[in-house]
Amino acid sequence: MRADRLLQLLLLLQRHRRLPAPRLAELLEVSVRTVLRDMEALSTAGVPVYTERGRGGGCVLMDGFTVDATGLTPTEAQALFAWTGRDSLADLGLSRALTSALTKVAATTPESGIQQAESLGKVVVSDRRRWFNAADEVPHLPLLREACQRRRRVELLYQSARDREATWRTVDPYGLIDQAGVWYLVAARDRDPRTYRASRIQGVQLLDEPADVPEDLDLGQLWRDLRSFFEDAMPGQPVRVLVATGAEDLFRRVATVQLAPGSVIAESARTPESVELELTFRVTRAAVAAVVTFAPDVRVLGPPDFVDEVVRTVERAAALYLRPPS
């Protein structure tokens, strides 16, 4: 809306007093011509703004003109500007709204508070992705956000980890969860609450039907219950390995990504040549893949049933790749 853009332009000039028209156009995501038209509109409305040509010119707000202050303290300003959830809002399609809101706040906050907030932003960085994990593509997240907010039923084209191809399913969306940089949709199918990884959603259709959402829904508690059920259903695979010293650092980093929830890598013995480690992987297949990949620098010591599984996996791989060519 133009009124909102005019206010944002005014607040930008209140903070900086003078900005080149191209810079304002970039911040407002409009053309330079639009900025100049907006400057003329503000001037016509009695706001003391003007434009200057030539080097050092630009769009100017006369000294002494301010809008009402918000009353934010420096600490409150830091909390807003250094908030580490900006990536989440970008995924949800709200980054532009956040930028607009912060611009308005910045223009009505004492300069000392803004300076402290910006200095904090230079020393605090939030990286929500786990090691060795690529960022999920979540193009349908804004539409899912809309469905959750409007309480509308949706059809999802979804491919789970077990499915060979995606299928359509109708669900009642409850809400969205950002779990360590991975987005999940919590939704009910036939009144059974489930979780859907957003990156596996290939299509979304917003239906003109109200979603069946419990009035007393506590999304946070429901997510904790679903997560606990999932984690309890996967007891994990304990492993004891002997790792060559030269491969220890990389093995630790790779294994950490696959650890069962609450598990740590424990060191039970060490020599100059090797270290004995005990750890629990989330699933057996991930544990097998990790130790086989690092052979011969990693040797499995136990438990015996896991050693047998590693041997069977290696034998199957050998039979597949060492068979005579047809």
The tokens for 172 are 């009642």
Q: What is the pLDDT of residue 52?
A: 87
The tokens for 203 are 């299509």
Q: What is the percent of the chain with per-residue pLDDT over 70, rounded to a whole number?
A: 86
What pairing do the DSSP bridges indicate for beta strands 192-197 and 237-244? Answer: unpaired
Which residues lie across from 169 on neighbouring strands?
Answer: 156
pLDDT reading at 200 higher than 70: yes
291 contacts 279 by C-beta, under 8 angstroms: no
Q: Which candidate, 5, 6, 15, places its Cα nearest to that of 70?
A: 15
Please report, for residues 42, 47, 142, 182, 214, the alpha-carbon distance to residue 219 in angstroms, rounded to integers and kept in the order given: 45, 47, 18, 17, 10
pLDDT reading at 144 higher than 90: yes
- Terminal CA-to-CA distance of the chain, rounded, Å? 69
pLDDT in tens, 37-94: 999 988 888 888 889 887 767 899 988 776 654 556 666 666 666 665 667 778 888 8
pLDDT reading at 107 higher than 70: no
Q: What is the pLDDT of residue 69?
A: 47
| Cα dihedral: 28, 30, 32, 38 (round 10) | -70
Q: What is the pLDDT of residue 146?
A: 94
Starting at the earlier edge strand, list the strands of the sheet with 192-197.
192-197, 182-189, 167-179, 152-158, 201-210
247 contacts 299 by C-beta, under 8 angstroms: no
Q: How far apart are CA 318 and CA 314, in angstroms?
A: 6
Average pLDDT over residues 243-264: 91
Handedness of CA 237, 243, 246, 248 (dihedral sign): positive
Most confident of 23-37, 71-85, 117-131, 289-303: 289-303
Q: What is the pLDDT of residue 68?
A: 52
Helix (H) or strand (E) holding 164: none
Beta strands per DSSP E along the chain:
18-19, 49-52, 58-61, 152-158, 167-179, 182-189, 192-197, 201-210, 237-244, 266-270, 274-281, 298-302
pLDDT reading at 1 higher than 60: no
Helix (H) or strand (E) holding 40: helix 32-44
**Confidence at 208, pLDDT banded by 50, 70, 90:** very high
88-105: string of b/e by CB count within 10 Å (b at 16+)? beebbeeeeebbbebbbb
90 contacts 130 by C-beta, under 8 angstroms: no
Average pLDDT over residues 1-27: 82
Q: What is the DSSP letter of 216?
A: T
Average pLDDT over residues 99-113: 66
163 contacts 154 by C-beta, under 8 angstroms: no
Which residues lie across from 154 on neighbouring strands?
Answer: 171, 206
User: CA 119, 121, 127: angle at the middle one, nearest 5?
Assistant: 155
Phi and psi at 280, nearest 5°, equal -125, 115
> Is this prediction's pTM over 0.75?
no
| Cα dihedral: 104, 109, 112, 115 (round 10) | -20
- At residue 301, the 3 state secondary structure works out as strand
Average pLDDT over residues 267-290: 94
Exposed / middle / buried, residue 312 (Cβ in 10 Å: 0-12, 13-18, 19+): exposed
Question: What distance separates the 2 farthest-apart alpha carbons in the chain?
Answer: 87
- At residue 291, the 3 state secondary structure works out as helix
